Amino acid sequence: MMKKAYLIPMLIVVLSLATVVPPFIGDRYIHILIMILFYGYLGACWNILSGYTGMLSLGHGALSGICAYFTVVLFMKMGLTPWIGMFLGAIATALIGMGITYLAARYGLKSMYFALLTISFSEIIRLLALHWEFIGGASGLLIPMSKNPMINFQFPEKYLFYYVILIMVIVIVIINHLVVRSKLGYYLMAIKENEDAAENVGVITSRYKIVAAGISSFLTGFGGVFYAQYLMFISPDINLSLDFSIEIASAAIIGGIGTVFGPLVGACVLQVISEIFRVFLGEMGSVHLIAYGLILMLVIVFMPKGIIGIINKNKS
């Protein structure tokens, strides 16, 4: 395991650099940093359900999209500021995530079958949004610039968004850290290891799966709202696509499944790779996804515990 003695000074250095430097590096690089933190944040949310319990979710993209739609529609139709709307959206998202997990627990759907359930959920949501004109249908919704940008989660400068996502990442890392050390964390790991044995020592497995799904979906919702406010646009193809869910899961799997910092490390690797692809191949649609797929396969075969797993192994 990582020694605390190294970890804390390292964190302080990284954090101060992350706080001071960005306003001076220009929008292009800020955007890359924002995307790294954004996928790191969602990967860490995903981790709380899928990383610790082993229930592979490919619906987290859609969950984040649901919250984004909820918040944006409240803002556009009723004028409710996203700062408040996102909490309502996150609660709704948590209820949906818990509902699906309840069904999975009730009917004993595990691993692969849970993944299939979340894929179908994700596609159903995307198709609903695609055909529902009230929320913009296939063309999505363009968020109008408001007169009071700050009050409505709209920032004129990119680096302000950067600070928002930086704070979100710090919060999610702390939450992950607390979960790992709590009773919930122990129970989630027990569920991942062996459900029968966990039940035998008093772990009410269905209850803790649903709790994990609730926390995970609630926090995922904020990620979705951030993305919508950052792009000032939501559409089924961006916010509800299966590709989006796969990218979230990939970040966590490549970085190190069920670890506190894994999703961030994974997001960093993936974003840098996709940037490199963009520089050399231009905007050729989703070429970078081919690289993602390759890396994902290599990681699963050669380092199932991800990059963090390799680092920890070398240290001990």
Partner 1 sequence: MLELVHLTKIFGGMTAIENLSLKVEENKIISIIGPNGAGKTTLFSLISGYLKPTSGEIVFNGEPITTLPPSRICKKGITRTFQIVQPFMNLKVLDNVVIGALNWAKTTVEAKDYALHILEEVGLMDKKDRLANTLTLAGKKRLELARAVATKPALLMLDEVMAGLNKVEGKHLMELIESIHVNQKVTILFIEHVLNIVMRLSDRIIVLNYGEKIAEGTPEEISQDQKTIEAYLGKRK
Residues that bind partner 1 (CB under 8 A): 181-183, 186-187, 189-190, 193-194, 196-205
Residue number with CB closer to partner 1 (136 or 309)? 309
The residue among 176, 189, 169 whose CA lies nearest residue 267 is: 169
Tokens matching residue 56 = 């592979």
* Separation between Cα atoms, residue 49 and residue 209, nearest integer Å: 7
- DSSP designation for 146: P
State the minimum distance, in angstroms, from the CB of residue 176 to partner 1.
16
26 touches 197 (CB < 8 A):
no
- β-pair partners for 141: 234
State the minimum distance, in angstroms, from the CB of residue 114 to partner 1.
19
Residue number with CB closer to partner 1 (32 or 184)? 184
State the minimum distance, in angstroms, from the CB of residue 17 to partner 1.
34
State the minimum distance, in angstroms, from the CB of residue 104 to partner 1.
16
State the minimum distance, in angstroms, from the CB of residue 116 to partner 1.
25
Residue number with CB closer to partner 1 (124 or 204)? 204
The residue among 169, 172, 208, 168 whose CA lies nearest residue 190 is: 208
Quick one: how far is CA 281 from the chain centroid? 27
Q: Which residues of 112-137 are buried (b: 16+ CB within 10 A; e: fewer)?
A: eebbebbbebbbebbeebbeeeebbe
Residue number with CB closer to partner 1 (81 or 205)? 205
* Separation between Cα atoms, residue 101 and residue 49, nearest integer Å: 10
Residue number with CB closer to partner 1 (201 or 284)? 201
Residue number with CB closer to partner 1 (108 or 149)? 108
Residue number with CB closer to partner 1 (190 or 248)? 190
State the minimum distance, in angstroms, from the CB of residue 189 to partner 1.
6
Residue number with CB closer to partner 1 (83 or 186)? 186
For 132, residues 6+ apart whose C-beta sits below 8 A from its C-beta are none
- Tokens 């992350």 belong to 18
Whole-number Cα distances in Å, 295 to 111, 124, 270, 299, 303: 21, 28, 9, 6, 11
The residue among 26, 32, 36, 34 whose CA lies nearest residue 279 is: 32
State the minimum distance, in angstroms, from the CB of residue 99 to partner 1.
20
- Tokens 């919250």 belong to 67
60 touches 42 (CB < 8 A):
yes
State the minimum distance, in angstroms, from the CB of residue 302 to partner 1.
18
